[in-house]
């Protein structure tokens, strides 16, 4: 039965768990639909649940103290989970987490996640290992935001989103991309046009199509990492 559960896991973290660990956590998991713009976590609010994404795209966003500015610091999809503060031993985060591409996943109550981590060292080690990978993504985002041109940052973001979805179409608006990159909408529109002229992407109302993934990597100019890449 545990072997079958491992084969059925559509989240990479759940899929990498040993059969005993997956059997341990499985009774506490509940399937959930993840809706566009759904807020899963708010800054400095107690985290009630963690989520293992199976389809869709989550965005971890930091907001300035006065609320005027925001930017994405990390992207989460089927490779990971939302609710890492619980894994790291606290009950709240300074960031917001929202769904920007609808999908579904598995939800687990914060107390239940703490329980299964306490019961299994290997399960705990796996989740802490993912926390390290997540922090690597955050540091690379900081580098890209500090040193990259808008076109390079956009190419990186599109690649990261492409890694985490099925197919080559991303349902994204210019406004959403601008908010995630922390730039003006006009800048994103110009950058999209530039990438489209180079035949790296195609665009339609509310969507972006990945046309030339290898060319997009070159356009990212070293800011894209293969910590997690499309299978």
Domain residue ranges of the chain, discontinuous segments joined by +: 2-144, 148-219
Kindly report the average pLDDT of the chain as a whole number.
Answer: 90
| Residue the block writes with tokens 């998991």 | 29
Task: Look up the CATH number of domain 2-144.
Answer: 2.60.120.10
Q: Is 90 exceeded by the pLDDT of residue 121?
A: yes
pLDDT tens-digit readout, 21-43? 999 999 999 999 999 999 999 98
Q: Specify whether the CB–CB gap between 163 and 229 falls below 8 A.
A: yes
Classify residue 189 as exposed, middle or buried by CB count within 10 Å of its CB (0-12, 13-18, 19+).
middle
**CA of residue 62 relative to chain centroid, distance:** 14
Report d(CA 20, CA 216) in Å as an integer: 41
What CATH number belongs to 148-219? Answer: 1.10.10.10
Q: Parallel, antiparallel, or unpaired for β 81-82 and 49-63?
A: antiparallel
Q: Given this model, what pLDDT does residue 8 score?
A: 62
Which token pair is 196? 């489209």
């Amino acid at each position: 039965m545990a072997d079958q559960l491992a084969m059925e896991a559509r989240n990479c973290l759940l899929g990498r768990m040993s059969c005993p660990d997956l059997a341990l956590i499985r009774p506490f998991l509940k399937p959930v639909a993840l809706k566009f713009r759904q807020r899963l976590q708010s800054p400095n609010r107690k985290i009630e649940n963690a989520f293992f994404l199976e389809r869709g795209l989550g965005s971890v966003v930091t907001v300035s103290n006065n609320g005027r500015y925001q930017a994405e610091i990390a992207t989460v999809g089927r490779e990971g989970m939302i609710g890492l503060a619980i894994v790291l031993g606290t009950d709240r985060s300074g960031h917001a987490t929202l769904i920007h591409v609808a999908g579904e996943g598995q939800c687990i109550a914060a107390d239940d996640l703490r329980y299964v981590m306490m019961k299994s060292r290997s399960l705990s080690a796996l989740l802490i290992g993912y926390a390290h990978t997540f922090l690597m993504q955050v540091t690379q985002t900081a580098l890209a935001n500090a040193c990259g041109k808008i076109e390079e940052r956009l190419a990186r973001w599109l690649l990261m989103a492409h890694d985490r979805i099925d197919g080559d179409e991303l349902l994204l608006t210019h406004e959403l991309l601008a908010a995630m990159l922390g730039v003006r909408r006009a800048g994103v529109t110009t950058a999209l046009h530039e990438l489209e002229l180079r035949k790296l992407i195609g665009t339609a109302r509310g969507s972006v199509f990945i046309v030339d993934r290898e060319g997009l990597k070159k356009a990212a100019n070293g800011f894209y990492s293969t910590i997690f890449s499309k299978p």
